[in-house]
Amino acid sequence: MKSPGDGLPPASGGGDASGGGHSERKLGEAGAAKRLSTGRALLAVVAGGLGRAAGALLVLLALASLVFLALRLLPGDPAALVLGDQASEVDRAALRAKLGLDKPLFIQYLHFVWGLVRFDLGESLSRPGVPAYAEVMRALGPTAALAGVAVGLGTLFGTSAALASVGPWLGAGRRWVHRLTLFLAATPLLAFAPLLTFVFAVRLGWVPLPGDPESGAGGLLFASGLLSLPLAAQVARIGRAALLDQSRAKYLEVAAAKGASPARVWIVHALPVASTPISVVVAAQLGALLGGAVVLERLFERPGLGSLMLGAYASRDIPVLEASVVAAGLLFVVAQALAGMVQAMVDPRGRAT
């Protein structure tokens, strides 16, 4: 019989200690084993996260290299594309020297990777004197606001819809809530966002028109609201399934028998249990949310990372395009890693062994 102190965790990782002995010792051993297995689980999550981070870095490097190569392999002279055909040969040579395009490709690539690490990819071409990274940093704010508000609204709308579709408040109407969320989940953002914008901004005039630079909080709220709808539909779908799963549970009956109102039963007792799958869905949808943010920035002509990227693409502003694609890629892989970690924390089956 081992003492609790030096106890190795059982191979199964479970809490049950085998063998006889005094009940106190057994209890102590089980507690130690449980502590160890919790530590192990945490370790597995961290290790999985590290493995995922390595994969994420690989994706990021591949994306950055792809952008780098794409811009260098462009048929013709990039300097001519940037400056136009009328530019003198001297100007073009100066730009080529500034961008390092006159050096061998390999040296350029090393310089590019070193610039990535140092957060210095040179100055913007369309706004001379402004570093490309500063442009990206300036654009990150509005995009983060848009996406952040959308995540909040989506979780709120989705959870409310899930509660409304299982709770007793709406009667037969709850089936319609469920149908609406199913319809919304199957409809692309691109089909309904312009339509809703037309109805609310042009016909009803409740929200600022697209492209209004003074749109302020109302504009942000409306754009995030549109962006949050696909997320809300997914949250409602998964949340409803999780709540229905709980609906026959004994502890809800107990709560109801003690005189809790339906609202208290569903919100205080059932919802915390359902919040686990909901958080997994929200994390998993972050990547799609970033894609949607690009579309909505275009629709509402809002400043942000998507607009910056598309503008840099249109004007062939090479340093800004490189910096913004890498920044967007970074956001994307961080969102994915976050989703993976939430998933691993909640569901041990997905953990890397």
Partner 1 sequence: MKSQRSALVQLLPLGLVFCAVAAVVLFVEGDPGRLHLAQSWQPPGGERLLGSGDAGVDLSLLAAHATFRALVLALAVACFGFVVGTSLGASAGLAGGARERWALRVCDLVQSFPTFLLALAVLSAVRVPSRLHIGLVFCISAWAPFARLALAQTRSLREAQFVEAARALGASRFRVVFGHVVPNLLGPVAVQIGTAAAGVVIGETALGFVGLGPPDGVSLGGLLEQGTLGMLRAPHVLLVGALTVLCVSGSLQLASEGLRRHITRDAG
Identify the residue among 1, 42, 170, 314 touching partner 1 (CB under 8 A): 314
Q: Does 206 bind partner 1 (CB under 8 A)?
A: no
Site for partner 1 in 215-234 (CB under 8 A): none
Whose CA is closest to 217, among 289, 154, 145, 151? 145
Interacting positions 44-63 with partner 1 (CB under 8 A):
55-56, 58-59, 62-63
**Do the Cβ atoms of 320 and 135 come closer than 8 Å?**
yes
- Region at 150 (left for phi over 0; alpha for psi -120 to 50; beta for the rest): alpha
- Binding-residue pattern over the window 272 to 311 for partner 1, x denoting contact by CB under 8 A: ---------------x--xx--xx--xx------x--xx-
**332 is a site residue for partner 1 (CB under 8 A):** yes
The answer to whether residues 310 and 328 touch, using CB atoms and an 8 Å cutoff, is: no
Give the whole-angstrom CA distance, residue 167 versus residue 296: 33
Residue 292 C-beta: closest distance to partner 1, Å? 9
Per CB under 8 A, does 207 bind partner 1?
no
Q: Could you say whether residue 350 binds partner 1 (CB under 8 A)?
A: no
- Angle ∠(31,35,39) on CA atoms, nearest 5: 165
For partner 1, which is the closer residue by CB, 169 or 206? 206
Piece in contact with partner 1 (CB under 8 A), picked from 9-17, 162-170, 193-201, 237-245: 193-201
Rounded CA-CA distance 62/74 in Å is 18
Measured from the CB atom, the residue of 119 and 192 that comes closer to partner 1 is 192
**What is d(CA 128, CA 82) in angstroms, rounded to the nearest whole number?**
13
Question: Looking at residue 123, what DSSP letter applies?
Answer: B
Residues 6+ apart with CB under 8 A from 89: none
Positions in the binding site for partner 1 (CB under 8 A): 55-56, 58-59, 62-63, 66-67, 69-71, 73-76, 186-188, 190-192, 194-195, 197-198, 202, 209-210, 287, 290-291, 294-295, 298-299, 306, 309-310, 313-314, 316, 321, 325, 328-329, 332-333, 336
